């Protein structure tokens, strides 16, 4: 059986990490950090946008900033033509 994560990667999803800074509800002048990680499609990021929409509608801590990193783990190999002869001893 193939895992859900592998199927998502084959469909073009990559590992996305979001660093979310938000204001503490009881102390709005203080910032807290939350790290979110899931498989998502760049550059639209539908999973992350859904999570952030849930955050703003449900949670009390107002968002300050979001920093995103994304990397496709499975991707086509890169081939380069080599011009010349390579000697192996």
Global pTM? 0.77
> Who contacts 87 (Cβ-Cβ below 8 Å, separation ≥6)?
none
pLDDT score at 10:
87
- The string of pLDDT tens digits covering residues 22-56 is 999 999 999 999 999 999 999 999 999 999 999 99
The Cα 62–Cα 68 span in angstroms is: 18
> Who contacts 89 (Cβ-Cβ below 8 Å, separation ≥6)?
none
């Amino acid at each position: 059986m193939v895992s859900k994560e592998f199927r998502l990667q084959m469909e073009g999803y990559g590992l996305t990490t979001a660093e979310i800074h938000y204001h503490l509800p009881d102390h709005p002048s203080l910032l807290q950090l939350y790290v979110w990680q899931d498989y998502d499609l760049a550059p639209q990021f539908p999973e992350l946008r859904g999570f952030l929409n849930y955050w703003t509608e449900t949670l009390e801590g107002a968002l300050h900033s979001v920093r995103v990193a994304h990397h496709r783990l499975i991707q086509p190999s890169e081939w380069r033509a080599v011009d010349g002869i390579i000697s192996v001893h």
